[in-house]
């Protein structure tokens, strides 16, 4: 593992979240709705668990940006996301 990646892992911010077992019925439904086919929920959504409304709003905004009307194709939008992540040194 590269030293830079290791340092980022050691010093990555930690945000508390509500586990599946402790989720309210509304949050549990959001976990289900926004998980992939394998049942995995992206961490970027899970950090909204303390404020389920923000999870819903984030998921809807992302869906609109990636799948809503646009002169850009889905692939072009994903490529922009990758380029921004690389520029921000975001390793996920």
CB 45 within 8 A of CB 34: yes
pTM of the model: 0.72
pLDDT at 51: 96
Q: What is the DSSP letter of 1?
A: -
pLDDT truncated to tens, each residue of the chain (92 aa)?
555 555 555 566 678 899 999 999 999 999 999 999 999 998 889 999 999 999 999 999 999 999 999 999 999 999 999 999 899 888 65
pLDDT at 14: 79
Q: How many CA atoms lie within 13 A of 86 on its CB side?
A: 6
Task: Read off φ and ψ for residue 84, nearest 5 degrees.
Answer: -65, -40
Look at residue 89 in the predicted model and tell me its pLDDT.
84
**DSSP string of 12-70?**
--------TTT--HHHHHHHHHHS-TTS---HHHHGGGGSHHHHHHHHHHHHHHHHSS-
Domain ranges of the chain: 15-87
């Amino acid at each position: 593992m590269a030293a830079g990646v290791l340092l980022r892992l050691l010093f990555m911010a930690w945000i508390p979240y509500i586990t599946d077992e402790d989720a309210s019925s509304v949050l549990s439904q959001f976990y289900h709705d926004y998980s992939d086919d394998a049942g995995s929920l992206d961490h970027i959504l899970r950090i909204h668990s303390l404020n389920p409304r923000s999870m819903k709003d984030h998921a809807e905004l992302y869906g609109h940006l990636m799948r809503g009307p646009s002169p850009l194709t889905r692939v072009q939008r994903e490529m922009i996301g990758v380029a921004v992540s690389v520029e921000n040194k975001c390793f996920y």
